[in-house]
Chain A
Amino acid sequence: MSGNGSNEPIIICENVNKWYGNFHALKDVSLKVKRGEVVVICGPSGSGKSTFIRTINRLEEHQEGRIIVDGIEMTNDIRNIDAIRREVGMVFQQFNLFPHLTVLQNITLAPIWVRKKTRKEAEAKAFELLERVGIREQAHKYPGQLSGGQQQRVAIARALAMEPRIMLFDEPTSALDPEMVKEVLDVMKTLARSGMTMLCVTHEMGFAREVADRIVFMDQGQIVEEGTPDQFFTNPRNERTKLFLSQIL
């Protein structure tokens, strides 16, 4: 699914290390993601999945190693960080919608203030995105008046409104009631097929099997195994992967 000709990776992580105090949370994590690739990250609780994808937009700071996103190296320079954040959208487990703003305002906020779009442009785009995630009619409600599944779809629309090159998902369906998981996964599948570069932490193995180009398995702060869904599910090499799969499948 690689996109517009360029085959150089859009995300490059080289030997990324991170400590929380004395706790070594990421150990020499290296990963390259190509344009348009969909990578699913899985692993047991506490293995560092969230920590890892949050270093990619600097919600967590890494202490060693290099992270290069779309040609911009992540340094302490706030301009680089802001530039990267503009290119990277993120969807959280707890949605994190802004409760004091309507759905429409949630989606248009960043395009207006960060991308300096006019309100009119931003709203037109917002309605287009709401249409895409199937909740156009909720535009003027507040997040608190929506179901969990609807809220998460708004959160996806909000991230997409910035027209990011990359989308990060951190367990986007874990806080949802079972009957709402599908509506969110469907939106994510459509997005994956449209050629978006995606990095998803998720335990939805059906989703992984269907749309992932690659699955990365993490344990104790390390990438233990990576491969295509086929390899990963039918022929895992590592003992810890096998154990994990036996528990989750």
Chain B
Amino acid sequence: MATEVSRPTSRRAPRQQIGLIEWLRKNLFSTWYNAIITVILLYLIFQTVTSFVAWMVTAPGWPAAFTNIKLLLTWTYPVEQLWRPQAAMALVLLLLGLSSGLWGGIVRMVAFGAAAVSVLLGFVAFTFPDLPGQTSLPGWLFMFLCAGLLVGGDQAARWIGVKLRWPLIVAWLLSYPAVILILRGGLGLPIVETKLWGGLILTLILAISGIVLSFPLGVLLALGRRSSLPVIRIFCVLYIELIRGVPLVTVLFMGALLLPLFLPGGESIDALVRAIVAVTLFSAAYLAENVRGGLQSIPKGQIEAARALGLNVVQTTLLITLPQALRAVVPVLVGQFIALFKDTSLVVIIGLVDLLGAAQNIVGQPEWLGTPGGVWRETFLVIAAIYWVFSFTMSRISKRIEDQIARSRH
């Protein structure tokens, strides 16, 4: 039976890459008018970039951001307590480093990115002024320490191995209350009222709380909107449509001004807590709609297969429909988280001083009045860079998750 079959030989795929010259000709100079447009645009880009760089180098306002770095990062958080934000940040970065060693992948990318940024900032931080009465590490030392915690944590976790998994998950769950405890005080630490908080810390606390809290709430609302129980369904629909019908500013005002009227003792509710509640409630409504979109994209056959295997309703939701729905909407969810992160700047309106608020204050300081052109351009560029680093990180994470999912789909 052994007939000789001539095996088809495989050839290399033809080279897809084309040379630079060829690429230029094909894409930029294909016709005479394309060539003219290319030349004009190149000239404009060149002009813009060179004049921008020239301005960057000579701009007089940079000291405003750097001498006030403490205000930008922590606003009026007491100087003698500044070791506490540092400790909180060190704690989170250590956990991130350990996670990087344990899970690798995206987490490692973020951890090493953060380490690189820390080292870079460490050098920048040599220019930061020492503050009178400072109990914390100098900025440059702290930034190098952060990089060390990230990389060291990574190495340590690799050495310890998988038995770190559950302790680390528990540590992450406890990290949020721990950070709040460190920053706010209690259990023997002196209290630092949240009205003294501000700047980047406030922005991060608001954004992270909003994301972490609105996620489960949004998922519950999405499931509720698809519930077979009319009471739950109607409540969820009303909630979602009501919130989506008003702007975030309104919700913030309601949280800040109306809540105290309705709730007994509402006056005493912390302004920061009210803002977090408002941001969370707002974000959850949008999240619910996005998650619902994901849930609707799951074919009925998936649920039937799960039920036929004997999985109950809760198991089917948690193991089959939700994971698939969430994967389907990762890009949308991350987009929403980025929006939420930036939208937190609206809390200025209810009197909180976040990163943007701090910048606005610095720009108005009397000592910069003499600076020609003012210092707002330089200061706002600095905070724009800070916003960008965080948003960009989130969008990279989203991209990586999408790629991983795509690979399993093939």
Contacts and interface: CB of A to CB of B under 8 A. Distances in A.
Nearest to A111: B309
Interface stretch (B70-78, B258-266, B320-328, B363-371): B320-328
Contact of B311 (A59, A113, A145): A113
A14 to B, nearest CB: 23
Contacts of B323: 100
A98 B305 contact: yes
A85 B310 contact: yes
B310 A82 contact: yes
Contacts of A114: 309-311, 315
A209 to B, nearest CB: 28
A239 B233 CA distance: 51
Contact of A85 (B308, B315, B319, B327): B308
Contact of B308 (A57, A94, A145): A57
Given A99-B409, A100-B327, A144-B408, A109 B309 contact: yes
Contact of A144 (B301, B302, B305, B409): B409
Contacts of A62: none
Contact of A158 (B309, B320, B410): B309
Given A92-B301, A142-B410, A113 B319 contact: yes
Interface residues of B, number: 21
B304 A86 contact: no
A82 B305 CA distance: 13
A153 B319 CA distance: 22
A145 B315 contact: no
B162 to A, nearest CB: 14
A159 interface: yes
Contacts of B311: 109-110, 113-114
Contacts of A100: 323-324, 327, 408
Of the candidates B308, B315, B324, B327, the one having the most CB atoms from chain A within 10 angstroms of its own CB is: B308
A145 to B, nearest CB: 5
B309 A85 contact: yes
25 contacts: A57-B308, A59-B307, A82-B312, A85-B309, A88-B308, A90-B308, A92-B304, A94-B299, A94-B301, A96-B302, A96-B305, A97-B305, A98-B302, A98-B320, A98-B324, A100-B327, A109-B309, A109-B319, A113-B315, A142-B408, A142-B409, A144-B408, A144-B409, A144-B410, A155-B305
Sorted from nearest, which 9 A-B pairs have the closest CB atoms? A96-B305, A110-B309, A96-B301, A90-B308, A114-B310, A142-B408, A85-B310, A86-B310, A145-B410
Interface of B: 299, 301-302, 304-312, 315, 319-320, 323-324, 327, 408-410
Given A82-B312, A96-B302, A162-B309, 11 more contacts: A59-B307, A85-B307, A85-B309, A89-B308, A92-B304, A99-B409, A100-B323, A109-B309, A113-B315, A145-B408, A145-B410
